Amino acid sequence: MDELLGPDGQPRPAAAELLRMLSSLKPDALDERQRAAEAEILTMGITFTVYSDGEDIDRAWPFDVVPRIIDGAEWDSVSAGLAQRLRALNLFIDDIYNDRRIIADGVFPEDLLNDSVNLRDQCRDMRPPNGVWAHISGSDLVRHADGDLYVLEDNLRVPSGVSYMLENRAVAKRTFPGLFERQSIRPVDSYTDELNRLLRAVAPDGVTDPQIAVLTPGVFNSAYFEHSFLAQRMGAELVEGIDLTVGDDGRVYMRTIDGLERVDVIYRRVDDLFLDPEVFRPDSLIGVPGLMRAWREGHVTIVNAPGAGVADDKVVYAWVPDIIRYYLAEEPIIANVPTWRCMYDDERRHVLDNLRELVVKPANESGGYGILIGDRATDEQLAASREAIEADPRNWVAQPILDLSTVPTVIDGTLAPRHVDLRPFILTRGIGPGESYVTPGGLTRVALPEGSLVVNSSQGGGSKDTWIVDLPEGAR
């Protein structure tokens, strides 16, 4: 199905204004706006970095001017569902590292934890401020042919993309100023303020005016632009591991031109395993020796907390509906995509018997690598996937091939449907109701080749602005 057009080819109500405007444009005008937007992105230096040994690894951010539009009434429910989901996931993480009630109560099988690559023993018995572990998350949503939005996966470690959501809006406002004036499109710009508020709220006890730092792996990281953008928008320091040191007093300091200054909250964009060479990978050059000690002693808050990734394991994903019911005694507001776990013999058999009809995913990879889409794979790819599943069943899950929805996209100067997903960002500063913030919309990613379902920008995907449109009474 298409996000903007109904089955009859007529505009959906929330997209009517946009489509009316697009159809009134002269033949070349759409392409002109597309090129103007791209020129602006180049001028503003909005880039992402691609790992490559060639030159020019800092690439312009790919943006399509035609937005994806969601009706405000639908979004209210999605937004409530995401906040609910993250409250439950945070309770789950806290429980796993402490009492493990959910296991004692027989709701979650303990053996799943035994070989989870994201479970960190170093986090046992920790109680981070406000009980929050996954403060910032990006959950990927897709719309299936049945018209419903499903959560495809949760990213609880270092989700990226929010800066592009904000930049996309800035460009879109200049591309279609009239549309923003004429209708009610929810603004997204307060995200960095909300993030700042969150980071301040989780400062260590007794710190009233915390020094906040964004920890980046460095200038060659694919998301460096975003790290820099967020630091800039919050007035926080952007630090690399070499800028930080843990003092004899166990506190974290940064090296400034006037000597060492205390750091209270670290929004880290470095993976757990690289955070502290004393505890995790000893060869990490981007980490800070002693950082985990400082965190455990409560001298510094690390956001997201180390070990939070235990809940974004694609195998744990399959239990999220149960997790929501268990901790909140509520029914999940947004559905999971049905997921088969290859660790169980019967589910694995189903997967191996139906490989051609399934999407097979590694449980703990990001960036779209290692994904097999059954109906598009060659016989060799299917055989390789089968072998990989049998060799390490726990590392694989499978889901039905979703018929991702499409949005009209500018291709060679004219509009053609392309598949999209959506990554909203959820901020959780406490586990009570009303302590969450969900971005209105999020980052819409679009697979640019015809028929493709791979939306990752590292693999040729593009992006769109996402409009949550509130229609006047009676217009729906």
Partner 1 sequence: MALLARVAERLYWGARYCERAEDTARVIRAFNDQFVDFPVSAGMRWEPLAAITGTPAQVPADATDLGEMAVLHSLIADQTNPSSIASSVEAARENLRTTREVVPREAWAAVNQLARFARAESSHAVGRPGRDWFLGRIIEISRRLDGVLESTMSRDAAYRMWRIGRLVERADMTTRVLGVRAASILDTEGDRHRLEELQWMGVLRSVSALQMYQRAVRGPIEAERVLRFLMLHEPFPRSVRSCVSDLRNEIGHLSARAELIGLLDALDSALSECDPDVMDGAAIDAAMDTLQLALGDLHRGIINEFAS
Residues that bind partner 1 (CB under 8 A): 42-45, 58, 211, 214, 219, 228-229, 231-232, 236-240, 242-243, 254-258, 261
- CB 317 to partner 1: min, Å: 34
- What DSSP string runs through 138-207? EEEEEE-TTS-EEEEEEE-SS---HHHHHHHHHHHHHHSHHHHHHSEE---TTHHHHHHHHHHHTSPTT-
Answer for the pair 106, 139: CB distance below 8 angstroms, yes or no.
no
Nearer to partner 1 (CB atom), residue 228 or residue 366: 228
Q: What is the DSSP letter of 211?
A: -
Q: Which residues of 219-237 are buried (b: 16+ CB within 10 A; e: fewer)?
A: eebbbbbbbebbbebbebb
- CB 239 to partner 1: min, Å: 7
- CB 438 to partner 1: min, Å: 26
Answer for the pair 245, 235: CB distance below 8 angstroms, yes or no.
no
Nearer to partner 1 (CB atom), residue 235 or residue 451: 235
Nearer to partner 1 (CB atom), residue 257 or residue 391: 257
Count of CB atoms within 10 A of residue 145's CB? 10
Nearer to partner 1 (CB atom), residue 254 or residue 426: 254
**358-362 and 372-373: which strand pairing?**
antiparallel
Handedness of CA 339, 269, 448, 15 (dihedral sign): positive
Answer for the pair 358, 401: CB distance below 8 angstroms, yes or no.
yes
Nearer to partner 1 (CB atom), residue 86 or residue 188: 188
As given in the structure block, the two tokens for residue 294 are 């400082």
Answer for the pair 304, 134: CB distance below 8 angstroms, yes or no.
yes
Q: Which residues contact 386 (CB under 8 A, 6 or more apart)?
A: 352, 355
> What is the C-alpha R_g of the chain?
23
| Angle made by CA atoms 455, 457, 458, in degrees to the nearest 5 | 115
Answer for the pair 135, 197: CB distance below 8 angstroms, yes or no.
no
- CB 42 to partner 1: min, Å: 7
Count of CB atoms within 10 A of residue 472's CB? 8
Q: Which residues contact 454 (CB under 8 A, 6 or more apart)?
A: 368, 371, 447, 460, 461
- CB 99 to partner 1: min, Å: 40
CA 50/CA 473 separation, integer angstroms: 46
209: helix, coil or strand?
Answer: coil
